[in-house]
A and B are shown apart, each in its own frame.
Chain A
Amino acid sequence: MMDAELIAMQLFSGIALGAILIMVALGLSIIFGMLGVVNFAHGALFMVGAYAGLWVASLTGSFWWGLLVAPLAVGIFGMAIEYLLIRPLYGRSVDDPLLLTFGLGYVLVEAVRIVFGSDGIPFQTPPQLAGVADLGIGFFPIYRLFVIAVVALLLLLLWLVLEKTKFGLIVRAGAQDPQIMRVLGVDISRVWLLVFGLGVGLTALGGVLAAPMRNVNPEMGSLVLAEAFVVTVIGGMGSLVGAIVAGLLVGVAISMTALFAPEMATIVMFALMALVLLVRPQGLFGKPGRA
């Protein structure tokens, strides 16, 4: 009986981890699908999101303000990055934005190190969300339940926006054929700006949500970036459904492995990725011939 409970708890931790990965991978995927830019600064922006959340929370004394303000602020910061740094590189080789964001990631990490120091900062779980809840099959940390609920709600919202609104239609069509959108009167560069901001805002939200579950430090983005890349490769680069399914898959795989063979926990996702690449190189939900 104890074993079943342990497995249920670990499965649940995996879903919570997966939820964070989805936030990061979704942004990565949506930016790549629309702008064709592989954003190597995405992990650093996750970390910036966590720090921004921490900072706003300490200023206002409330975790909720951090959760609300940090993703918005970092999303706007992302729009500034697109407008000032990435936009001049469109029409050039794909390596250029890749190198730029790669370098930008380092700049952000160092900037945070200068401002906040290299040491990790603990982030208190907000008191309303501390403790555990008895779900009948076992005791689960309330905060992780909260993370899963927020991500699920956000995914629903994102789906509604993409499928039911004019902006969503423009985004879906613009990802396929930006040029025809211009002819149909859409200023596609404005759409790119918003989509980049949205993608960055999502990873920043992931950062804030993850903050109480792990140590906040300047390096926290690099592992997440690697995990998010694995997720997008497994799910299929540019596929949103793929990012969601693969995010959960990787999260659960990591935490289940941690239960049985802790030393294999990081390797398992790469093994999963290798397997998918062998069997289905475009990823589970990717279209062949892209990327």
Chain B
Amino acid sequence: MLEIEGLNAWYGASHVLHGISFSVEPGEIVALVGRNGAGKTTTIRSVMGLIAKTTGSVRFAGTPLLTLPAHARFGLGLAYVPEERRIVPGLSVRENLQLGLVAHSGAIDERKAIDEIAESFPRLKERLGQEAVTMSGGEQQMLAIARAMIARPRMILLDEPSEGIMPVLVEETGTLFRRLRDQGVTLLLVEQNVEWALRLADRALIIDQGEVVHRSAAHALLADKAIQERYCAV
């Protein structure tokens, strides 16, 4: 589904990714872990087209991405939940959900799609008319995920979905991700909450100083405290 080969990325003059290579198969959850500043966020931002200078090869369902403008990647079925959530101020919850559909060309009935997504997110259902940024951090996170899901993408890239939300919501989010995977949606998850991410994921990758330094089944890494300690401890 997603094939990354020799990905390099720069922020201005500083070279932050050094030849990242990995792939994500359709219908699996892959966790991308590592310390702060290791290059996890840069990796998914590169896939989404939000990093100005990148080299190497990134393919999504066979289509080379790096030469495509960011907005064209959405149409291929690629969705993104940024770490800062980016809920748009001044807009209601409903309008923020509508934003997930404005560029969608296929036949999705907007009203029906919003009703359906509201069923999956009861917390949002009660608040459709409320200004979205007045909700709690956890609710905004749910909204960011719902907005990414609403156009039925084939793959969702999530940056720290568990950050700053209540433990009960973290568990709910995990259940939702498993359900999405069962529906055939591919997920790439960047997480600081390593244990949670590894319980959820099928496979895991560790990024350190802009390189992939470890790859294994998620449960294998979960059991290997030594490697976790070496690359993920704060």
User: Interface residues, chain A, CB within 8 Å of chain B?
Assistant: 166, 169-170, 172-173, 176-177, 179-188
Cβ contacts B27-55/A at 8 Å (1 or 0 each): 00000000000000000000011100000
Nearest chain B residue, comparing its CB with the CB of A188:
B71
In the complex, the 10 A-B pairs of residues with the closest C-beta atoms, listed nearest first: A185-B103, A185-B74, A182-B70, A180-B86, A173-B88, A187-B71, A182-B71, A183-B80, A176-B88, A186-B103
Which of A180, A185, A187 is within 8 Å of B82, CB to CB? Answer: A180
Shortest beta-carbon distance, A149 to chain B, in Å? 30
Total chain B interface residues with beta-carbon distance under 8 A: 26
Shortest beta-carbon distance, B70 to chain A, in Å? 4
A183 touches B70 (CB 8 A): yes
Inter-chain contact total with CB atoms closer than 8 Å: 64
B95: CB under 8 A from chain A? yes
Nearest chain A residue, comparing its CB with the CB of B95:
A169
B102 touches A184 (CB 8 A): yes
User: Interface residues, chain B, CB within 8 Å of chain A?
Assistant: 48-50, 69-72, 74-75, 79-80, 82, 86, 88-91, 95, 98-100, 102-104, 147, 151
User: Which chain B positions have C-beta within 8 A of A177?
Assistant: 86, 88
Cα A188 to Cα B79 in complex, Å, equals: 17
Q: With A180-B82, A183-B48, A187-B69 given, is the CB distance from A173 to B99 under 8 Å?
A: yes
What are 8 A-B contacts defined by CB distance under 8 Å?
A182-B49, A182-B70, A183-B74, A183-B80, A183-B82, A185-B103, A186-B71, A186-B102
Main secondary structure of the interface of A (DSSP, over half): helix
Q: Which of B70, B72, B104 has the most CB of A within 10 A?
A: B70
A170 touches B102 (CB 8 A): yes
Nearest chain B residue, comparing its CB with the CB of A175:
B90
Cα A243 to Cα B49 in complex, Å, equals: 36
Shortest beta-carbon distance, A1 to chain B, in Å? 48
Q: With A185-B71, A185-B74, A186-B71 given, is the CB distance from A176 to B89 under 8 Å?
A: yes
Q: With A166-B102, A169-B95 given, is the CB distance from A185 to B75 under 8 Å?
A: yes
A176 touches B102 (CB 8 A): no
Q: With A166-B102, A182-B49, A185-B104 given, is the CB distance from A172 to B75 under 8 Å?
A: no
Shortest beta-carbon distance, A286 to chain B, in Å? 13
User: Which chain B positions have C-beta within 8 A of A188?
Assistant: 71
Shortest beta-carbon distance, A33 to chain B, in Å? 11
Nearest chain A residue, comparing its CB with the CB of B103:
A185
User: Which chain B positions have C-beta within 8 A of A172?
Assistant: 90-91
Shortest beta-carbon distance, B46 to chain A, in Å? 13
Nearest chain B residue, comparing its CB with the CB of A187:
B71
User: Which chain A positions have C-beta within 8 A of B69?
Assistant: 182, 187
User: Which chain A positions have C-beta within 8 A of B98?
Assistant: 166, 169
